[in-house]
Amino acid sequence: MLDVTKLTQAEIRRLGIEALTKALVPAGMARFMQQFEKGSGDYTKDRDQILGNSTIDDIFSRIEEHRKTQ
């Protein structure tokens, strides 16, 4: 059994990535790792710029308009 208390953080990271790659294949490992990457920016500020002060009724109206054009 591996004594993880004697491994460096880099060694643990490498072994973890190797295990994920073996279990999920490289593409699956990459998708898994993307879940834990820190994003950037200010989500609340960006959301407010995109949505503005929309009410739920405004949002539903825009959805309905979009569906009509599809």
- The predicted-structure confidence for 5-63, as pLDDT tens digits, reads as follows 999 999 999 999 999 999 999 999 999 988 887 778 888 898 888 888 888 999 899 99
- Distance of alpha carbon 47 from its chain centroid, rounded? 17
In the chain, domain spans: 4-69
pLDDT at 20: 94
- Distance of alpha carbon 6 from its chain centroid, rounded? 31
pLDDT at 61: 93
| Both structure tokens of 10 | 């880099």
